[in-house]
């Protein structure tokens, strides 16, 4: 090493050769100096590199041994299984957890293939997957099913790779993690999803599920069919991926104010301000009036809401019909009350007439007979002819009084109905009517049943009385025909005359319907 003038050092190779004289003595020296700095530095660098490599190899060996130890501990203490097979599929290594999990030993499996230890279908799948990894040389992840000889089934997520030893011989390595529980959970979830879908599709209501942003994430089959059939009714329709709140806002912007409470209710449930919401709203299509019942219910853990639109149009129509019927019943009740009042008034009038007739006529005549009979005591002896004349006169008066009392009793209750039946009572009343009014009257009876209840017979008899009274008062007729006809539908009473008639509908609309017509309607209506 030479020291330069600038203070640096240089490595040189110095050579010296002696020059001798004739006597072999060294007379001078011839020398040379060669600069070998680069060579020396290269040798130093090589030496340092070798030392570094040796150190790194030693460190790598230590790390490898530590890694192998960690891998061994990991494989022995984790749920992961590991195995190694040669290219022909013969087992050369099984991890301790593999042996523990499947109840086998490497000593029993070493040198054996999957076809020697697994069911054939499983072994064929394992070999097919191994050959795929050998063919492309890449690590592959797959899900494989393990079925032990005792029938235990498990699912594993396996990672298979190609491993080479020092000689370059290839092996198929594998690591597996048990995912059986995950598989069961997936199947349970799929079953639950299928069940939920079937339940939703079985509902008659149109159902959709909104996430917490109001986006439709699921609809049932009735919703889809309704959307296809009613595309013009946009305010209650949306597809998966649509924001239902935006659908409602568009409807409001188009002037549909009925959607306002719907939007407010959905937003209140989504925000947690309200547990549930329900409302009935009209959604009329161009062809018909329709009504829907909306129910909004929250999903668990604030994941969104379920919307149910139930078509209640039929119920609304029934309610409307019931309201109409109720109004009709109320009007009928009013008419009934009015009729009752009129009947009470008519009854009071009839009683007053009967009282007057009894007091002013019958009672007076009976009193007259009584006075005449009392006067018999003052008749002198020898006037037997005069006495007989007075008795005869009193008898005639009593006979007339008896006839009039029978007539009054018959008006109150026709006893013939009980004793001889409807046909005879009708015939007797028509004859009396003809004799009293001079109107020619004819009775026609056909197929009248023999068994006929007294209340029905009385009803028809009173209708006959009222009809003939109307003919006498209003018709100005000269001829009347009364028909009493039996058929499979019942018994009918018809009155025909050749007099002046009227339009019943017009009379009713003008408020001129008489008590007689109302009485007949009510009597017949009671029996229907």
Dump pLDDT digits (tens) for 10-31: 888 889 999 898 888 988 999 9
What is the distance between the alpha carbons of residues 476 and 478, in angstroms, rounded to a whole number? 7
> According to the model, what pLDDT value does residue 378 have?
65
Could you tell me the pLDDT band of residue 453, with boundaries at 50, 70 and 90? confident
The DSSP secondary-structure symbol of 235 reads: G
Q: What angle do CA 425, 428, 434 make, to 5 degrees?
A: 140
Q: Would the pLDDT of 179 be above 90?
A: no
**Lowest mean pLDDT, pick from 6-20, 158-172, 410-424:** 410-424
Per the prediction, the chain carries an average pLDDT of 80
Residue 207 and residue 306 in contact, taking contact as beta carbons nearer than 8 Å: yes
Q: Would the pLDDT of 357 be above 70?
A: no
Residue 227 and residue 201 in contact, taking contact as beta carbons nearer than 8 Å: no
For a pLDDT cut of 90, what percent of the chain falls above it? 12
Dump pLDDT digits (tens) for 271-304: 888 888 988 888 766 567 788 888 888 876 667 8
Residues in CB range of 244: below 8 A, 6 or more apart: 208, 210, 214, 215, 216, 238, 266, 307
Dump pLDDT digits (tens) for 459-504: 888 888 888 888 888 888 899 999 999 888 888 899 999 988 877 6
What is the distance between the alpha carbons of residues 90 and 92, in angstroms, rounded to a whole number? 6
> According to the model, what pLDDT value does residue 343 have?
63
The DSSP secondary-structure symbol of 380 reads: P
Nearest CA to 221 among 237, 204, 201? 201
Dump pLDDT digits (tens) for 94-150: 888 888 888 888 899 999 999 998 888 889 999 999 999 999 889 999 999 887 666
CA dihedral 400, 401, 404, 405 (to 10 degrees): -150
**Mean pLDDT throughout 79-87?**
87
What does the radius of gyration of the chain's CA atoms come to, in whole angstroms?
61
Helix (H) or strand (E) holding 2: strand 2-3
Beta bridge partners of 153: 147
Task: Give the other-Cβ count within 10 Å of 338's Cβ.
Answer: 11
Secondary structure E strands in 362-448: 440-446
Could you tell me the pLDDT band of residue 192, with boundaries at 50, 70 and 90? low
Could you tell me the pLDDT band of residue 394, with boundaries at 50, 70 and 90? confident
What is the distance between the alpha carbons of residues 432 and 426, in angstroms, rounded to a whole number? 10
What is the distance between the alpha carbons of residues 270 and 210, in angstroms, rounded to a whole number? 9
* DSSP per position, 239-284: -TTSBHHHHHHHHHHTT-GGGHHHHHHHHHHHTTS-S-EEEEEE--
CA dihedral 46, 48, 54, 57 (to 10 degrees): -90
For a pLDDT cut of 70, what percent of the chain falls above it? 76
Residues in CB range of 75: below 8 A, 6 or more apart: 81, 82, 95, 96, 97
> According to the model, what pLDDT value does residue 41 have?
82
Could you tell me the pLDDT band of residue 319, with boundaries at 50, 70 and 90? confident
Task: Give the other-Cβ count within 10 Å of 465's Cβ.
Answer: 17
Q: Would the pLDDT of 512 be above 60?
A: no
C-alpha distances out from residue 514 to 346, 411, 508, 510, Å: 12, 20, 9, 11
Residue 71 and residue 65 in contact, taking contact as beta carbons nearer than 8 Å: no
In three-state form (DSSP H/G/I as H, E/B as E, the rest C), the secondary structure along 304-352 is EEEEEEEECHHHHHHHHHHHHHHHHHHHHHHHHHHHHHHHHHHHHHHHH
Dump pLDDT digits (tens) for 426-448: 888 888 888 888 889 999 989 88
């Amino acid at each position: 090493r030479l020291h330069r003038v600038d203070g640096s050092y240089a490595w040189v190779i110095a050579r010296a050769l002696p020059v001798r004289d004739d006597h072999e003595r060294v007379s001078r020296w011839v020398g040379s100096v060669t600069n070998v700095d680069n060579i020396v530095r290269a040798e130093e660098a090589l030496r340092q590199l070798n030392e570094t490599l040796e150190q790194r190899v030693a460190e790598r060996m230590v790390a490898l041994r530590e890694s192998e130890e960690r891998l061994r501990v990991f494989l022995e203490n984790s749920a992961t299984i590991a195995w190694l097979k040669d290219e022909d599929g013969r087992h050369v290594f099984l991890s301790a957890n593999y042996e523990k999990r499947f109840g086998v030993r490497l000593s029993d499996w070493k040198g054996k293939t999957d076809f020697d230890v697994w069911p054939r279908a499983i072994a064929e799948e394992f070999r097919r997957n191994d050959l795929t990894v050998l063919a492309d040389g890449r690590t592959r992840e797959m899900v494989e099913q393990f079925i032990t000889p005792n029938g235990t089934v498990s699912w594993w997520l396996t990672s298979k790779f190609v491993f080479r030893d020092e000689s370059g011989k290839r092996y198929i390595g594998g690591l597996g993690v048990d995912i059986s529980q995950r598989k069961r959970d997936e199947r349970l979830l799929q079953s639950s999803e299928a069940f939920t879908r079937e339940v939703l599709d079985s509902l008659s209501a149109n159902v959709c599920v909104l996430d917490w942003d109001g986006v439709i994430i699921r609809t049932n089959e009735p919703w889809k069919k309704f959307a296809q059939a009613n595309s013009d009714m946009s305010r209650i329709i949306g597809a998966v991926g649509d924001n239902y709140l935006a659908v409602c806002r568009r409807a409001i912007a188009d002037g549909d104010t009925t959607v306002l409470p719907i939007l407010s209710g959905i937003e209140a449930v989504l925000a947690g301000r309200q547990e549930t919401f329900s409302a009935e709203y009209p959604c009329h299509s161009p062809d018909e009036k329709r009504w829907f019942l909306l129910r909004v219910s929250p999903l668990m853990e604030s994941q969104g809401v379920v919307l149910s639109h139930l078509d209640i149009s039929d119920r609304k129509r029934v309610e409307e019909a019931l309201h109409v019927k109720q109004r009709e019943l109320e009007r009928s009740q009013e008419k009934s009350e009015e009729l009752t009042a009129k009947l009470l008034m008519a009854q009071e009038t009839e009683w007053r007439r009967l009282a007057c007739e009894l007091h002013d006529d019958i009672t007076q005549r009976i009193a007259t007979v009584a006075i005449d009979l009392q006067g018999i005591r003052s008749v002198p002896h020898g006037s037997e002819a005069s006495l007989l004349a007075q008795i005869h006169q009193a008898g005639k008066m009593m006979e007339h009084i008896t006839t009039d009392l029978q007539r009054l009793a018959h008006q109150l209750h026709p006893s013939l109905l009980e004793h001889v039946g409807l046909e005879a009572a009708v015939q007797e009343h028509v004859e009396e009517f003809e004799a009293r009014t001079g109107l020619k009257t004819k009775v026609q009876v056909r197929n009248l049943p023999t068994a006929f209840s007294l209340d029905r017979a009385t009803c028809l008899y009173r209708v006959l009385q009222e009809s003939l009274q109307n003919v006498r008062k209003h018709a100005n007729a000269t001829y009347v025909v009364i028909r009493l006809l039996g058929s499979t539908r019942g018994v009918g009473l018809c009155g025909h005359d050749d007099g002046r008639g009227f339009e019943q509908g017009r009379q009713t609309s003008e408020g001129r319907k008489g008590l007689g017509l109302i009485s007949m309607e009510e009597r017949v209506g009671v029996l229907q």
